[in-house]
Amino acid sequence: MDGNLAGSNLRINGDRLWESLMEMAKIGATEKGGNCRLALTDLDKDGRDLFVRWCKEAGCTIRVDKMGNIYARRAGKNDSLAPVMTGSHLDTQPTGGRFDGVLGVLAGLEVVRTLNDLNYETERPVEVLVWTNEEGSRFAPAMISSGVFAGAYDLEFGLSRKDQEGKTIGEELQRIGYAGEDPVGKEVHAFFELHIEQGPILEAEEKTIGVVTDAQGQRWYEVTITGQESHAGPTPMNRRRDALLGASRIVDLVNRIGLEHAPYACATVGMLNVYPNSRNVIPGQVFLTIDFRHPEDDVLTEMDRKLRAGIDEITGKIGLEQAVEDIFYYKPIHFDEDCIAAVRAATEELGYSHRDMVSGAGHDACYMSKVAPTSMVFVPCIDGISHNEVEDAKPEWVSAGTDVLLRAMIQRAGKAD
């Protein structure tokens, strides 16, 4: 590898990057300043086409795999070596923002452009990747294509996912001209993903860079609490079996479990439906969902134990029935130590304030970590808001994150002798 990475000229062009971000944001722009570019729509095709054009202009070769993932390649000196890759997604939520995903893609392009500017030859090839259907808004599940790449799903499953109108990913890839021929999956020397944090920590602590060491594991539950529907007037308090009272105590329990495993645990009841939901009827049944997250699987197991014991106690006391269903269990991920070290070193060389972070959300990098050395770089977003048209980030944050990405990629790709 190379010892001269810290040269002051190793900086990306922040203005050019910002201009590209704003140009891409015109495709599917919403009135409120956000983006709606759902996977494999005409607008997604327009975004892909623009990306491909820019990459070709930057001298890259383009390949597309059978899941429609786009690989823009800048050759290395030793082009037979496995590439160092970076990337994210161009698809958005229906009321999404201008940075979620697209930043990670265009930062990769900016890395290539900067290497070109500097006439910098890497030992290994560098590739910038666009993953198909990361958001999962149009086709469930989310991160389907990195999932296929990592072997979590097979190709047939991926191509057969349907939108609400019954159109499949495979059909829509054909329609927009992005059904490629390449196999999905190959040897990768390292993978980096730059992303906005989608949470409030970096901005609140005035840190520019999040060195992402882990991604939280997730356990999701559906809980149904059943009591006795009865009249709010003639039914004395001590004879009630109020399902909402039990459910409310479960909400408090979930919050308490989260706090007991601070600072990394997240514990949320996001959905709660009351039956019959009438002003003067004691609720007979409540359905609620629980979302537990933590970077350590042992802690998730302990949270699970506390949840079940707590629900037993709460429902037993009121005389309620319970049904607790595990619906999703995604184990925590620890990213690759060398990749983390490359990000941290780059951040320190550049003098950016930083902190280690755990990703609370899922990203394509989570799947990639199963098959390649992987880590992530986070930059702040305004008020921690994402999946929202008001999603925003400052140009200096975006530049700083891309500076870090550039150096981390060079560190892993090596300077050609």
Q: Which residues of this protein are in contact with a second copy, per CB under 8 A?
A: 197-201, 204, 216, 218, 220, 230-239, 242, 244-245, 247-249, 251-252, 255, 258-259, 262-263, 265-274, 277-283, 289, 291, 293, 359-362, 384-387
Of 55 and 333, nearer to a second copy (C-beta) is: 333
Min CB(388)–a second copy separation in Å? 9
Of 279 and 417, nearer to a second copy (C-beta) is: 279
> How many Å apart are CA 136 and CA 93, to the nearest integer?
8
Of 159 and 376, nearer to a second copy (C-beta) is: 376
Min CB(248)–a second copy separation in Å? 4
Min CB(334)–a second copy separation in Å? 17
Of 179 and 215, nearer to a second copy (C-beta) is: 215
Min CB(242)–a second copy separation in Å? 7
Of 37 and 195, nearer to a second copy (C-beta) is: 195
Of 163 and 203, nearer to a second copy (C-beta) is: 203
Q: Which two tokens stand for residue 274?
A: 């009351």
Of 58 and 269, nearer to a second copy (C-beta) is: 269
The three-class DSSP label of residue 387 is coil
* Distance set, CA 26 to CA 43, 49, 50, 69, 92 (Å): 10, 13, 11, 22, 13
Long-range Cβ contacts of 78-83 (<8 Å, 24+ apart): 78/123, 78/124, 78/416, 79/125, 81/123, 81/124, 81/125, 81/189, 82/124, 82/186, 82/187, 82/188, 82/189, 83/124, 83/125, 83/126, 83/127, 83/188, 83/189, 83/413
Min CB(66)–a second copy separation in Å? 30
Min CB(70)–a second copy separation in Å? 27
- For residue 134, give the amino acid letter: E
Min CB(106)–a second copy separation in Å? 22
- Quote the radius of gyration of the chain (alpha carbons, Å): 24
Of 62 and 274, nearer to a second copy (C-beta) is: 274
At residue 394, φ and ψ (nearest 5 deg) are -85, 145
Query: Taking the CB of residue 80, how many other CB atoms lie within 10 A of it?
Result: 7
> How many Å apart are CA 210 and CA 295, to the nearest integer?
16
At residue 398, φ and ψ (nearest 5 deg) are -60, -45
> How many Å apart are CA 304 and CA 294, to the nearest integer?
11
DSSP string, 323-343: EEEEEEEE--EE--HHHHHHH
> How many Å apart are CA 243 and CA 225, to the nearest integer?
6
- For residue 267, give the amino acid letter: A
Min CB(385)–a second copy separation in Å? 7
Q: End-to-end CA distance of the chain, in Å?
A: 9
Of 118 and 281, nearer to a second copy (C-beta) is: 281
Min CB(42)–a second copy separation in Å? 27
- Are 241 and 319 in contact by the 8 Å Cβ rule? The answer is yes
DSSP string, 85-129: EEEEE----TTB-SSTTHHHHHHHHHHHHHHHHTTPPBSS-EEEE
Min CB(271)–a second copy separation in Å? 5
Of 291 and 348, nearer to a second copy (C-beta) is: 291
- Are 43 and 27 in contact by the 8 Å Cβ rule? The answer is yes
